[in-house]
Structure 1
Amino acid sequence: MDVLRMRDVGFAASRELLGRHGLHLVEVADGEAIPGSYWGEDEAGLIGLTVYARSDTPVHSLLHEASHLLVMPAERRAAVHTDATDSIEEEDATCYLQIVLADRLPGVGRERLMQDMDAWGYTFRLGSTRAWFEEDAREAMAYVDLLGLLGEPDQT
């Protein structure tokens, strides 16, 4: 499957992006199991405020797991391990935020991320990630906006 992987974009910009939001990114050695990975194999994992990824981890997976941490309430964030899903609203906000954050990663951008999400098998009732994002994500955008995640991130 031809999706952007961490080896294509490197870890530095992603580490900086997550750090601006108070999260940590840990690079896992190739061939090692990814701690906190819900789906296993090459999918990103999360434990507390830390996102784990390998060089073969899809960029969309890294952004998805980081977005889960950013949209969940702070009291849950520190204790989360592997499974971050709480509600449909939170999952939708996560998908929305990962697309927005893709614009903040050099060499990624929302267009490529949405293509990768479709290629990977994300499903939306309008048939594509782009259609959902442009035509059906108003509630997700409002959720993310309410949390103040669409402006410049806090320096923590």
Structure 2
Amino acid sequence: MILTLADTGFDAPRALLAGYGLSLIEIPAGEAIPGSFWGEVEAGLIGTDVFARADTPVHSLLHEAGHLIVMPAERRAHVHTDATDSVAEEDATCYLQILLADRLPGVGRERLMADMDAWGYTFRLGSARAWFEHDAEDARAFLESRGLLPLTCAL
């Protein structure tokens, strides 16, 4: 079963996102999630706001937040629903979401990578873990070029 915000609560993710100047907006059960690219339970984004419900997977929340973290501020202000700019940015977002998982109690990178695989993320080497450990040099370099490694935020 994929870990959701019902399992972790909103407080720790909200604090984590706030460290990057983002707001986590909790949407009531049954309501549509604004700015959701995938629809249904998946997190959404509009500007610096990330929208999620209790049934939103943690990997989805961290992925959408990761998009906002890696993109330049001038793009972030205007983003709505679709945040992908390039393959390089998408890869950096996947790498960052794995790192961010370590900042959430009860989540961690191992659990997040398993959830990414279960959800259907696809990587050349067959799994999120194999990609992260053996094929993500370009994603890491992208994050370093943006000053996002070593991973820091105001918590």
TM-score (norm 2): 0.97
Residue 100 of structure 1 aligns to which amino acid in structure 2?
L
* Alpha carbons 2:2, 2:115 under 8 Å: kept: yes
Paired residues, number: 155
Gaps of 5+ in 1: none
Please give the alpha-carbon distance, in whole angstroms, between the structure 2 residues aligned to 1:73 and 1:80.
11
The structural deviation recorded for 1:149 is: 1.6
What is aligned with 1:129? 128
What is aligned with 2:99? 100
The structural deviation recorded for 1:73 is: 1.0
> Equivalences for 1:39-118 in 2 at 5 Å?
39-118=38-117
Please give the alpha-carbon distance, in whole angstroms, between the structure 1 residues aligned to 2:125 and 2:99.
19
- Percentage identity across aligned positions? 70
Q: What per-residue deviation string (whole Å, max 9, x for no partner) do you get for residues 19-50 of structure 1? A: 00110000000000000000100000000000
The structural deviation recorded for 1:154 is: 4.5
Residue 138 of structure 1 aligns to which amino acid in structure 2?
E
The structural deviation recorded for 1:150 is: 2.5
What is aligned with 2:29? 30
* Alpha carbons 1:6, 1:55 under 8 Å: kept: yes
Q: 1:146 to 1:40 in 2, by over 3 A?
A: same
| SS of corresponding position for 1:84 | coil
Please give the alpha-carbon distance, in whole angstroms, between the structure 1 residues aligned to 2:111 and 2:13.
16
TM-score (norm 1): 0.96
Please give the alpha-carbon distance, in whole angstroms, between the structure 2 residues aligned to 1:146 and 1:111.
25
What is aligned with 2:19? 20
The structural deviation recorded for 1:152 is: 5.1
Please give the alpha-carbon distance, in whole angstroms, between the structure 1 residues aligned to 2:117 and 2:129.
9
Please give the alpha-carbon distance, in whole angstroms, between the structure 2 residues aligned to 1:135 and 1:74.
30
* Alpha carbons 1:22, 1:155 under 8 Å: kept: no
| SS of corresponding position for 1:100 | helix
| SS of corresponding position for 1:25 | strand
Please give the alpha-carbon distance, in whole angstroms, between the structure 2 residues aligned to 1:154 and 1:60.
19
Residue 111 of structure 2 aligns to which amino acid in structure 1?
R
Please give the alpha-carbon distance, in whole angstroms, between the structure 1 residues aligned to 2:6 and 2:149.
27
Whether 2:131 is the aligned partner of 1:150: answer: no
The structural deviation recorded for 1:155 is: 3.8
The structural deviation recorded for 1:153 is: 3.2
Gaps of 5+ in 2: none
Residue 126 of structure 2 aligns to which amino acid in structure 1?
G
